[in-house]
Structure 1
Amino acid sequence: MRIGRPPQVQSGSGNIRLVKGCPCYKEFGDEKVCLNNDDVRPINCISLDPSFFTQMDSRDRLSELKSNNESMCYLLIGLDDEDGRVYCVSQNERLMINNRDVRASDIDDALQFVSTKEMSTDGAVCSSCLYKYLITLSNVFSDMLTDSERSDVIRAYVRQSALKIAMGLESAPEEEELKDEQTFRNHIKKRIDELMKQRAELASLIDGLKQSGENEEVVKLCEYYRALTRLQAVFLYQVLTLGEANEEHIALGLLKFMVEVADRVVETSNMVRQKSHELREAGAVPESVQLILQKHDIARKRIEQRFLNLARVLSQV
């Protein structure tokens, strides 16, 4: 067995290999979140060793291990050599980053750089290793910049823009807000918390509208707003991660990752605007829903141009 190669579990249709750790797991202080499928979900974690599941002989058996708790994370992933995909063991979901499947071959490549010591530590440490090498080695991030000065300028612009978004500023933030790392991170985290609360409120609104048999297009508009809050939270989490990237090539990989998220924020904002216009013209949005969405629309208009600018700048990476 090669160093870093995870134990294999034979199945009737191919090999299921288990890896301790997950590239979608992230810690921010005491908070633990899952970033799978470009989402931000608070989770509770237990680290399980792959040897615990040595009797498993197929991916069907893997699905039987799914937790009934949607917030439970085993810090364990399964590599399917037949379809080349990677699966979350605790939730039986495909792993997706940047709207793309995480490939088993990407994890294999990453594991070649994980030392024996790193493989024997807890799942959180191994997860950090997987994520770091995944964004470095995956061909999604293969066209890396070599101009470190340009990278520094872009990183500084991203930090300033993120702080303006988080604090609702129209002008440039105070210099000390940018220089003091803890103050900066506190502002970003506060905004992420607000976005997650807004997302929960919108989810509750959507459930209520569906139960009452509301117009499907009105429900779709609310879903667009919910997607917008999710994407903003994902982007801001990436800003925090960018601040932790001490190596130039890792920072560049993260910046490339952030391009598509910024693009998707702009795209989703456009969808909100178009759908809102259609429904207003038809007089189809109940007044009670209009009142709820009004504050979200004000926030959308405030951040739309900023994300458009971010997408343009990040496209230079």
Structure 2
Amino acid sequence: MKVGSSLMASMDDDDKGLVKGCPCYKEFGKDQVCVNNDDVQPVSTIIVDPTFFPADSVEDLEEFKSDNESMCYLLIYLDDTSDTAYCVSQGKRIKINNRPVRASDIREALQFVTATEKAGSGVICSTCLYKYLVTMGDVFEDLLNETERAKVISEYIQKIAAKMAVDMTNATEEQMADKESYNQHLKEYIKQLINIRSEWSSLIFLYQKKDTNQDLLDLMEQYRTLSRLEGIFLFQVLTLRDATDELVALGLLRFMIEVAEKVVKVIDDIRDGHLKIQPLKKIPTDIKEMLKEENSRRMTIEQRFTNVLKVLSQVDVGA
């Protein structure tokens, strides 16, 4: 795997302020360059494990600075105290468009980019990190006009939507690569959710007539709501794939964030609902089987929607 086409960016507790990856690293064909401080310098890269650099402060970086000006470790140091980012190999602050990159900007970018651009090995592209900083970072907000900003963010959102659909519906990357296959797969999955919702509706209607425990009825209603919200969310993903207007895409994103928040809330209610029905001595077999099946599915999608909400909330969609 080429270093430039995919760049490692990880942030573990053990790494402290060190991040494997740099937004200023670029590849042009076979040439490797550094564009830090608005310059273009040819570099030779080596990937170094952060554990080789036990840096606890900016002052410690001087010890690890390379004597070779063209050497790049693909490693940056984030100093949270001063909210600054430094190139470890050259001991210089990271600057883009003559503006210092903040440590907080890098951390926010990593949360977004690693969730959407990460390969199986945990590697992400430097271009994605750079693009996030100049389009979504507060420091660089005036570099693009609103139309340009909306277009770039829209492209990000569409990538997120595709990856969310793959994760949430157990589709393959190959299925999602082809638009027709992508649309068909999502439509079939949405139909499954509609069927699940109908099953819950039938059970609720049946047992409302039998003076069933209210906590049990409430839990069934919460599961019905969950299937409805899932379907709405995936329908928006499907719509987003075909959105050609950037502002429409941003509007869809706002709605998707609202739906994702509701999903997380109803999942919390479902968890509480299961605790409430524990004292019940007997639950009808058809309800018990449905609860068992859907609770297993709920646990699978819970973390997915939590992650989805975290990623979507990173995008500034305006008022």
- TM-score, with length taken from structure 1: 0.50
| Pick aligned residue for 1:280 from 266, 278, 283 | 278
Determine helix, strand or coil for the equivalent of 1:249: helix
Q: CA deviation at 1:257?
A: 1.1
Please say if residues 154 and 250 of structure 2, whose CA atoms lie closer than 8 Å, have aligned partners that are also in contact.
yes
Q: Distance in 1 between matches of 2:148 and 2:196?
A: 36
The whole-number CA distance in structure 2 between the counterparts of 1:257 and 1:264 is: 11
Structure 2: how far apart are the matches of 1:256 and 1:281?
A: 40
Cα distance change on mapping 1:181 and 1:278 into 2, 3 Å = same
Alignment-derived partner of residue 218 in structure 1 = 216
1:146 counterpart SS class:
helix
- Name stretches of at least 5 consecutive residues in structure 1 with no aligned partner: 1-142
State the match for 1:156 in structure 2.
Answer: 159
1:113-153 deviations in Å (ceiling 9; x for gaps): xxxxxxxxxxxxxxxxxxxxxxxxxxxxxx99935334322
Q: Are 2:208 and 1:248 equivalent residues in the alignment?
A: no
Q: Do the aligned residues in 2 keep the contact of 1:163 with 1:188 (CA within 8 Å)?
A: no
Q: Unmatched 5+ residue regions in structure 2?
A: 1-145
1:66-88 deviation digits (Å, cap 9, x = unpaired): xxxxxxxxxxxxxxxxxxxxxxx
Equivalent of residue 205 in structure 1, options 195, 203, 206: 203
The structure with higher relative contact order (CA 8 Å, sep 6+) is: 1
- TM-aligned CA deviation for residue 287 of structure 1: 4.4
**4+ runs deviating over 6 angstroms:** none
1:183 pairs, out of 181, 189, 193, with 181
- For the Cα contact (< 8 Å) 1:259–1:311, is it kept in 2? yes
Amino acid at match of 1:221: L
**Counterpart code for 1:225:** Y
Identify the match of residue 308 of structure 1 among 306, 309, 314.
306
Distance 1:314 1:145 in 2: 19
Name the SS for the 1:229 alignment partner: helix
Instruction: Give the secondary structure class of the aligned counterpart of 1:274.
Output: helix
One-letter amino acid matched to 1:294 = K
- Does the 8 A contact of 1:166 with 1:191 survive in 2? yes
> Counterpart amino acid of 1:179?
A
> How far is the alpha carbon of 1:213 from its aligned partner?
0.9
Pick closer, same or farther for the CA change 1:284–1:242 going to 2, 3 Å.
same
Alignment map for 1:30-109 (pairs within 5 Å): none
Q: 1 CA distance for matches of 2:280 and 2:210?
A: 20
What fraction of aligned residue pairs are identical, expressed as a percent? 35
Task: Specify the alignment match of 2:168 in structure 1.
Answer: 165
Which residue matches 1:56?
A: none
Secondary structure at the counterpart of residue 280 of structure 1: coil
Specify which of 194, 197, 212 is matched with residue 196 of structure 1.
Answer: 194
- Residue 216 of structure 1: how far off its partner (Å): 1.1
Q: Secondary structure at the match of 2:244?
A: coil
Q: Which whole-Å deviations, capped at 9, do the CAs of 1:136-172 have from their partners, x for residues lacking one?
A: xxxxxxx9993533432232122111232123x6xxx
Q: What CA distance in whole angstroms lies between the structure 2 residues aligned with 1:285 and 1:195? A: 24
TM-score by length of 2: 0.50
Q: Are 2:229 and 2:259, in contact at CA under 8 Å, matched by a contact in 1?
A: yes
Contact 1:224/1:268, CA 8 A, preserved across alignment: yes
Q: Does the aligned pair in 1 maintain the 2:150–2:246 contact within 8 Å?
A: no
Count residues with an aligned counterpart: 170
Larger radius of gyration between Structure 1 and Structure 2 = 2
Aligned partner of 1:95 in structure 2 is none
Indicate conservation of the 8 Å contact 1:163/1:187, yes or no.
no
Q: Name the aligned partner's letter for residue 265 of structure 1.
A: V
Instruction: Please state whether the residue corresponding to 2:271 is helix, strand or coil.
Output: helix
User: What residue is the counterpart of 1:233 in the other structure?
Assistant: 231
* Preserved contact between residue 257 and residue 309 of structure 2 (Cα < 8 Å): yes
Q: Which whole-Å CA distance do the structure 1 matches of 2:279 and 2:313 have between them?
A: 35
Task: From the superposition, tell whether residues 248 and 217 of structure 1 become closer, same or farther in structure 2 (CA, over 3 Å).
Answer: same
